[in-house]
A and B are shown apart, each in its own frame.
Chain A
Amino acid sequence: MENSTAQHEHASVKTYLVVAAVLGVVTAVEVAIFYVEALEPILVPLLLTLSAAKFALVVGFFMHLKYDSKVFRGLFIGPLIVAVAIILAMLALFGVFGGGAGGA
């Protein structure tokens, strides 16, 4: 039990504040580029990338997955991969990518 608590000490309060600031900024950027018409053609991949970055920040720092045991990583990332693969397969089966809009 002791070692797992010790592992969290890696992330300090300062790190948390920086991560939160980045999350806020990225969200603002996401909304901003939503309104920029010039970015229309690459809007989908751009937004998905930014969203994935926020996802990774919260999971990695706030949920400590970056520092924690790889057992936890396996329990989360394994199912996540299955879920994402099935979502993509279903979207392909239903022709959601058909229009060429979903470049991702």
Chain B
Amino acid sequence: MAVKEAAAEHGAGLDSGTHEGTYSGGLWSWITTVDHKRIGIMYAVFAFFFFLVGGLEALLIRLQLGSPENTLIDPDLYNQLFTMHGTTMVFLAIMPLSAAFFNFIVPLQLGARDVAFPRLNAFSLWVFVFGAFFLNASFLFGGAPDAGWFGYANLTSTQYSPGVRIDFWVLGLQVLGVSSIAAALNFIVTIINLRAPGMSLMRMPLFTWMTFVTSFLLILAFPAITVGLVLLMFDRTFGTSFFNPAAGGDVLLWQHLFWIFGHPEVYILLLPSLGIVSEVIPTFSRKPLFGYPFVVYSGILIAFLGFGVWAHHMFSVGLGPIANTVFSATTMLIAIPTGVKIFNWIATMWGGSLRLKTPLYFAIGFIAMFIIGGLSGVMHSSAAADLQQTDSYFVVAHIHYVLFGGVIFALFSGIYYWFPKITGKLLSEGIGKVHFWVMLLAFNLTFFPQHYLGLHGMPRRTFTYQEGLGFEAMNLMSTAGSLLLGFSILIFLWNVLVSLRKGAAAGRDPWGGATLEWAIDSPPPHYNFRVEPTVHSRDPLWAAGGLDVDVNDPAAPEPHMPSPSLWPFILSAGLVVAAAGAVAKSLVVVLAGGAIVVVSIFGWAFQPLER
């Protein structure tokens, strides 16, 4: 929260000094804002808050597993913790952190003044925020969801999960899906239509490209889980039998619907990070990205193939030799475009004049860790090998090498890279490098031993293990690593606080970047570009002579921007009221929430964007 306040004051201070009537501080202005930059900052702050929550849940899990037959946490709480750790990190931390970058950076890279639908953007934010707190409110009402982050049927049936825990999960994820789909639709239109003149698709910055691809994954993947969740909700609330084998229902349908969403979801988490790294590496190598078209097309191919691999999460089901072979093959295929990207990044650095700043450290750390995670991924793309590894700590190690060693490292690379643009202050290089080395060491200490634990037979999602199975030393190592990992996050927070106060002023372009966001002030004025830029190449700021126009020309008329609106906030609240009513099985509350939704849709539709 401190970050938000600080950034708010900062943004307000700088802007109101130079331009009239831009940001007024105050809570109200944040609630009603439709400015993509403020929305991006709020996404970042809330997502980081939930990253800390999910991290604390992980630390409790690790403390419990630090010694055999530990009694720190009972099995019931343990189930809640691993379920909420996974759910939180996927839906409430990584996705919204990526969304924070989509919001803040993409319009700037496009040379646009905002997204295509500013109010829809605010709506996405508030639905996420309310949905996230709603999901976590379950801790206060009889316990959090406890059926794992993929909630396999029929563990989630009323027979095995009475009470409201699963209802919170079912409704919370539906609400969060609305947020993701709305945001993705917005960014698809923004990227198609709000590009600066001259910015053809093949001149778009890579981060914007990956945002574009991710948005398509979002609009196509989320409906599948929404339907799965609706079926589950009908089973639990109305007593249908979609997942009840006694009445002919098939529990496997849930697994399919979940993973038709779930595997594209993995790429939803990953592709923005690939985009970030594809921005950072050229900037700090002083070289355009090697093989730009290959990086773009391999991103598209990853997304497309991502819809054809879902059943590799289900090899242990026994789908039969044909299905197993097909899904093994498509899974192995995905390694090709992924490998292409890795070679492109390395080739970009090769022969470049490297400047070893913190963002590049994290980007290189990402490449190394992601290769390890990718290799263990290829290992269990083979159905035969997967049967040995599934549901063991080996897959826990794999997913963390991909999502922490991969995605989180890349997101930190992005944070160090764009923090100066967002706040106007550079993060400390010294503290940043300490942060990097501690995090890299701690990460490997935590998760590398889990490969061996898994191969030695330690199952995941089990609250303890017996003494003498040979798991003690490596679990202790992993727990020690996780505490150090938590400490590394504190180093980062300290860096943010110190740098916001005493950091060096960033100026427009502290890194010598090639893309449009570096042409304007840091932090950007609320209209971003006073004069619209025109683009003639992939790296407009590296072109001889730079941009044709002075995008900051103070003599140009100040652009008109959309007015604030409260409707997105109210509409989001209405959705969550309806969801809460559904959990409480109170028709009155559901209808009240529905009424709020309907009223605010009309209020919104008839409120002019600029007033």
Residues of A that sit less than 8 Å from B by CB? 71, 75, 78-79, 82-83, 85-86, 89-90, 93-94
B441 at the A/B interface (Cβ < 8 Å)?
no
B319 at the A/B interface (Cβ < 8 Å)?
yes
Most buried by B among A75, A90, A93: A93
Question: CA–CA, A86 to B330, complex, Å?
Answer: 14
B220 touches A85 (CB 8 A): no
Most buried by A among B224, B250, B260, B307: B307
Q: Is the interface of A mostly helix, strand, loop or mixed?
A: helix
Q: Which of B215-238 contact A (CB under 8 A)?
A: 216, 219-220, 224
> Hey, which chain B residues are within 8 Å of A75, CB to CB?
188
Residue of A71, A90, A93, A94 near B192 (CB, 8 A) is A71
A71-B192, A86-B260 as given contacts; A93 in contact with B220, CB under 8 Å: no
Residues of B that sit less than 8 Å from A by CB? 188, 192, 216, 219-220, 224, 250, 256, 260, 307-308, 311, 319, 323
B256 touches A90 (CB 8 A): yes
A78-B216, A79-B220, A90-B256 as given contacts; A85 in contact with B323, CB under 8 Å: no
User: Which 7 A-B pairs give the minimum distances between C-beta atoms?
Assistant: A82-B307, A82-B220, A79-B220, A93-B323, A86-B260, A90-B256, A71-B192
A93 touches B307 (CB 8 A): no
Nearest to B193 among chain A residues (CB) is: A71
Question: CA–CA, A90 to B227, complex, Å?
Answer: 15
A90-B256, A93-B319 as given contacts; A85 in contact with B307, CB under 8 Å: yes
A85-B307, A93-B319 as given contacts; A79 in contact with B256, CB under 8 Å: no
Cβ distance A65 to chain B, nearest Cβ, rounded Å: 16
Nearest to A90 among chain B residues (CB) is: B256
Cβ distance A92 to chain B, nearest Cβ, rounded Å: 8
A71-B192, A82-B307, A85-B307 as given contacts; A93 in contact with B256, CB under 8 Å: yes
Question: CA–CA, A98 to B160, complex, Å?
Answer: 33
A78-B216, A79-B220, A93-B256 as given contacts; A86 in contact with B192, CB under 8 Å: no
Excluding A85-B307, A86-B224, A93-B319, 6 further A-B contacts by CB distance (< 8 Å) are: A71-B192, A82-B307, A86-B260, A86-B307, A89-B308, A90-B256
> Hey, which chain A residues are within 8 Å of B192, CB to CB?
71
Nearest to A92 among chain B residues (CB) is: B323
Question: CA–CA, A93 to B220, complex, Å?
Answer: 20
Nearest to A71 among chain B residues (CB) is: B192
7 A-B residue pairs with Cβ-Cβ distance under 8 Å, sorted by A, are A75-B188, A79-B216, A79-B219, A83-B220, A85-B307, A90-B260, A93-B256
